[in-house]
A and B are shown apart, each in its own frame.
Chain A
């Protein structure tokens, strides 16, 4: 009996061993302790569990009922209208600094303005369609416009058609809702290359982890409803998203994107670029802005990494036409106090192969399309921004402050190199 028990025990101990080793133990030639057993396999359940990044939620706030009033109606069981909500964004920006130009007078860029004043509404209807209308009331007369009037319909599971007046998706900053931008102003190259909001359509599919879209847009632009002009723009987007678990157990989400715009109308396009500063006088010089030609091909590729406290956006952009411009934006951010204080950095680089090929503004007037703020020309641009955003209420009420150092070189031109230390302050309220 005891022998049987011993043999059975030996059997189970020696089971993972090779047959020869097992025989050696049974014949007494080796001891059990001398055999190296293979490692246990990893828990198959643990291996199969796919990590999922869940964005941290917001803690309850006494301001929740106030912001909840933006949703005027919500009933998911209603067959016609499931939701009706108003949307708005008010942004005030101020900048203080001096652009110092070699061999030319300095330019004061102390200014404050209502940078964005948007009001609109969105509806979810028929169980598969979202309609959005937004008007922009800030800026010069040409900037005030119907920003968006579009519908998006789910035609098949994960298949969508978007139609109406909206901006083609291009780049991380250019595609982001202005309410969610981490810096007071978008970067130099983003302002320069951003296409206009115009009529068109996009067909897209979200087939995790990939999503893609392709569409056509008119090359016309208008404050209200553009017409069909020229052959138009072709827009294509591709993105890949994955969640992975780090050693510490936290999960990060990584999203890579590739955006492409092709203008079939070249110089006659009014949507790409949005504005033409031909003949205007730049503030660094003074010097006339070179004849501004259009771009035909535009590429943007980059990656977004998002963790619980740390986030990073990296974008590389190239525009090709009668001349070339290219650049990159690197933007890390970190929640020093999760939900309340976010430290934001940004390095932006822009370059061109044409004299005076870079045209843009500095400070609160960074977007020359916005109003008649001073514009600067050059052929190489660097900008370093470091700031902090104080979140009074979620992502919807934010105070932004930061310091920027910009360098605009004009080596290929008359060497009116410019650099500026600029303090930015801003406040953003959205619903």
Chain B
């Protein structure tokens, strides 16, 4: 009996894994429509594809999804958002690669601060999250999201800017914010990241 119970416990532990509530994610992003959810933020319109979920050898959940922003009049942004979730449902790292106006960008992997010591032995290659969070009361998740947003804004602006001038007509100058394209993209992508955080659990 004890052996059976131990085996059962072992199976339970070994199959313990995080998962993503895809319907819930869709609800947070205005609903799935043919496998894509769309929302607008700061004058930009974002579309997010239904994520794919895979598990690695350590039972970590790897979520990947396409995020795009297609404004016919200016920037063409497409990126692949990758989120690593540990079996207990905690998001451990976020990264994004993609293109903006044909120029490639990548944010690097932004890791949850408390996971650095555990993962450094394994790979030694995890990017260090911001060591000095702006708000000492902020949770590790908040710090990770803020750092990812900052890195994404910077990476997009660097990729887009290769000496290229953007023309801003009077209507754009009067009625849109002075935020850079990177800030707009990062601000919009944050909504997807928040939705992923809210719908990932064990």
By a beta-carbon cutoff of 8 Å, the part of chain A in contact with chain B is 54, 56-64, 68, 249-250, 308-309, 335, 337-340, 390-394
Asked if A339 and B72 make an inter-chain contact with CB atoms under 8 angstroms apart, the answer reads: no
State A68–B74 Cα separation when bound (angstroms): 13
5 contacts between A and B (CB under 8 A): A57-B75, A58-B167, A59-B167, A60-B73, A60-B176
By a CB distance below 8 angstroms, the chain A residues around B166 are: 56-59, 338-339
| CB of A119, distance to nearest CB on chain B (Å) | 22
B35 contacts the other chain (CB 8 A):
no
Asked if A68 and B163 make an inter-chain contact with CB atoms under 8 angstroms apart, the answer reads: no
Asked if A61 and B73 make an inter-chain contact with CB atoms under 8 angstroms apart, the answer reads: yes
Asked if A391 and B71 make an inter-chain contact with CB atoms under 8 angstroms apart, the answer reads: no
Query: Which residue of A is nearest B75, CB measured?
Result: A57
Asked if A58 and B169 make an inter-chain contact with CB atoms under 8 angstroms apart, the answer reads: yes
Asked if B167 and A339 make an inter-chain contact with CB atoms under 8 angstroms apart, the answer reads: yes
| CB of A396, distance to nearest CB on chain B (Å) | 9
| CB of A393, distance to nearest CB on chain B (Å) | 5
State A60–B166 Cα separation when bound (angstroms): 10
By a CB distance below 8 angstroms, the chain B residues around A58 are: 73-74, 166-169, 172
By a CB distance below 8 angstroms, the chain B residues around A54 are: 101, 164
| CB of A54, distance to nearest CB on chain B (Å) | 7
By a CB distance below 8 angstroms, the chain B residues around A390 are: 170
| With contact pairs A57-B73, A57-B101, A59-B74 given, residues A340 and B168 touching in the complex (Cβ less than 8 Å) | yes
Asked if B173 and A340 make an inter-chain contact with CB atoms under 8 angstroms apart, the answer reads: yes
| CB of A74, distance to nearest CB on chain B (Å) | 10
Set B74, B164, B170: member contacting A60, Cβ < 8 A: B74
By a CB distance below 8 angstroms, the chain B residues around A68 are: 72
**Among A54, A57, A64: residue with most chain B CB under 10 A:** A57
By a beta-carbon cutoff of 8 Å, the part of chain B in contact with chain A is 43-44, 71-75, 101, 163-173, 175-176
A interface majority secondary structure:
loop
| CB of A350, distance to nearest CB on chain B (Å) | 33
State A61–B73 Cα separation when bound (angstroms): 8
Asked if A338 and B171 make an inter-chain contact with CB atoms under 8 angstroms apart, the answer reads: no
State A291–B43 Cα separation when bound (angstroms): 61
| With contact pairs A64-B71, A68-B72, A394-B73 given, residues A59 and B101 touching in the complex (Cβ less than 8 Å) | no
Asked if A393 and B169 make an inter-chain contact with CB atoms under 8 angstroms apart, the answer reads: yes
State A54–B71 Cα separation when bound (angstroms): 17
A61-B176, A340-B170, A393-B169 given; 4 more Cβ-contact pairs under 8 Å: A58-B74, A59-B74, A391-B170, A394-B169
Asked if B170 and A338 make an inter-chain contact with CB atoms under 8 angstroms apart, the answer reads: no
By a CB distance below 8 angstroms, the chain B residues around A309 are: 165
Q: What 6 A-B pairs are tightest by C-beta distance, nearest first?
A: A339-B167, A61-B172, A59-B168, A339-B168, A59-B172, A57-B74
| With contact pairs A57-B101, A59-B176, A340-B173 given, residues A64 and B72 touching in the complex (Cβ less than 8 Å) | yes
Query: Which residue of B is nearest A68, CB measured?
Result: B72
| CB of A307, distance to nearest CB on chain B (Å) | 10
State A249–B162 Cα separation when bound (angstroms): 10
**Among B169, B171, B176: residue with most chain A CB under 10 A:** B169
| With contact pairs A57-B101, A60-B43, A60-B71 given, residues A393 and B168 touching in the complex (Cβ less than 8 Å) | no
| With contact pairs A57-B101, A59-B74, A64-B71 given, residues A339 and B164 touching in the complex (Cβ less than 8 Å) | no
Asked if B176 and A62 make an inter-chain contact with CB atoms under 8 angstroms apart, the answer reads: yes
Query: Which residue of A is nearest B175, CB measured?
Result: A62
| CB of A171, distance to nearest CB on chain B (Å) | 26
State A340–B169 Cα separation when bound (angstroms): 4
Query: Which residue of B is nearest A399, CB measured?
Result: B170
State A68–B168 Cα separation when bound (angstroms): 18
State A54–B167 Cα separation when bound (angstroms): 12
| With contact pairs A68-B72, A394-B73 given, residues A61 and B171 touching in the complex (Cβ less than 8 Å) | yes
By a CB distance below 8 angstroms, the chain B residues around A393 are: 169-171
State A381–B141 Cα separation when bound (angstroms): 73
**Among A54, A60, A391: residue with most chain B CB under 10 A:** A60
State A308–B73 Cα separation when bound (angstroms): 17
